[in-house]
Amino acid sequence: MVDQLAHHQHEFFRQGDSRDLSWRIEQLKQLKQLIRSNEEDIMAAINEDLGRSQLATFMSEIYPVLKELKLLIKKLSDWAKPQKVKTPLLLKPGTSHVYFEPFGSVLILTPWNYPFQLLMSPVIGALSAGNCVVAKPSEISANTANLMANLINDSFSSDYLTIVEGGIEQSQKLLAQNFDLIFFTGSKKVGKEVMKKAAGNLTPVILELGGKSPCIVAEDGDLKKAAARITWGKFFNAGQTCIAPDYLLAERSIREKLIGHIRYYIDQFYGENPVENSDYSRIINTKHFDRLIELINNKQSINSERDKLFIPPTVIEKVTWEDPLMQEEIFGPLLPVIEYSDFNSILNRLSQLPKPLATYLFSSDKNKIERLRETVASGSLTVNDLLIQAVSNHLPFGGVGESGMGRYRGRNSFEAFSNKKAVLQRGLFPDWKFRYPPYKIAFNKIRRFFDFF
C-alpha cells in the first residue's frame, strides 16, 4: 500500500481537482467540521498518550488548529490570486506576475509531543495550497495516531489525503518514494536523515526541529511575572515542548529571588504533590523518562516515579555550561539555572551556540532587547513571555540553522506549500538588435545604454 500512495496521488493531482480553489476550501471546511464533531475523542486520546488535561489540550492543540482553519477558509481566495509585480523598463511592453501553484504530493512526518496540532497544522497548509497529502504521525503517541488515522481515512479519499500509521520502518518506506515536498517535525538527528533521503530525489524539505532555547531574566525585568510565565511555559506538557525554555540565564543580583518565585509558582500551579495533579502531564514513555533521569546525573535528588512516568517540575541550580544538561535539548520538566553578571558576555556566548528555535528575554530595557535581537539568531524572539508566539498565525513559525528551515502558520503555511512561479509575458516590439550576436557595438557604449534603465 505505502509503495503506491505517492503514485496514486500523483495521478489524482494530474487530473487537476486539487488546483480548484473551491475544491480546496471545501476540503478545509470538511476538515473543520470533522474536528468539531470529534473534539472530545481527540482530547481523550491525547490524555491517554500524555496525561494532559482537557483544557490544556484545547488551548494548545484544538483551538490553534480551528483558528488556522478559520483563517485559511476566509483568506485563501485572496492569497491564491496571482500577484502582479513591477516589470523593468527594459522588459516593456510586458507584464510580470507571481503565481502560486501546488508542488504535488506532500509527505508530512510529525512528532508525539503535540500529536494533533503538529499533525493537522501542516496538513491544513498543504491542502490549502492544492497539494495531495500523505501524513504519518508518531507511533509513540499511538492513541492519537490511531484515532486521527481512523477519522481522516474514513472521511477523505487516499487519492488526496491519507494518514499512515507505523514506526521507523514505515517512515523509511515513505521516504523512499518520490514525493514533491517533505515536511518534517522532530529532532535534529532524525531531521538529518530525512534530508539525506530527500537528497536522493532532490526533494525540497521543510524541517521544524528544536534546540536549546535560552530564557534570559535581567535585573530590570518584572520578577514575579517572569517567574509565573517561566513556570507555566517550561512545565506545560511536562516540558515536552520544542519552544519551551531549555535553560534559564538569571542575572546574579536577582537569581535567588527569581528561583524563589519559580518554586512558589510550582507549588501554586501543581500543589505539593504534582503526581496527583491532573493539570500536570506525564513523560511520554520509559525511554524518555530514563534519558531525563540520566541527564540529572545525581546532580539533584527528585521524587520521580518510573511506573507512572512522572518527573516533577524541577529547578536545578549550580549548573555549568559543561554539564550534561547543557549538551543536548532537555525536552522535559528540568530547568537548569546559570547565573550571569554581564549581559554582553551572555550575548557573546549565545551568538556562538547553535541557533535555537526560540529565544526569550524578560527585561524592560529597550537597549537590551534590541541588542539581543541583533546579536543572537533564532527562529523567534519573545520578550516578557513564553510559548505564546506560536499561537499567532500571523507570525511565521520555524527555526534557523540547526533548529530547522522553512516557515509555516497562516499565510506562511499557504506559501510554504506553494511553488512561487514567476511569469513574464512580453510584447514583440521593440526587439533590441544589440541582444543578438554578432556583438559589434562597443562595450562602453552599450553599458551606458543599460545604465539608462
User: Which of the residues are catalytic?
Assistant: 208, 242
Identify the DSSP state of 325: G
One-letter amino acid of 265:
Y
User: Would you say 328 and 348 are in contact if contact means Cβ atoms under 8 Å apart?
Assistant: no
**Phi, psi at 237, each rounded to 5°:** 60, 30
Alpha helices, DSSP H, located in 201-326: 223-235, 255-270, 286-296
For cell 541557533, what's the residue? Answer: 355
Q: Which string of DSSP letters, residue by residue, matches 133-185?
A: EEEE--SSSHHHHHHHHHHHHHHS-TTTEEE----HHHHHHHHTS--SEEEEE
Rounded Cα distance, 248 and 357, in Å: 15
Among left, alpha and beta (phi > 0; psi -120 to 50; other), residue 420 is beta
Task: Give the three cell numbers for residue 102.
Answer: 501546488
Rounded Cα distance, 159 and 167, in Å: 22
Rounded Cα distance, 75 and 89, in Å: 33
User: Would you say 313 and 331 are in contact if contact means Cβ atoms under 8 Å apart?
Assistant: no
Q: How many CA atoms lie within 13 A of 47 on its CB side?
A: 13
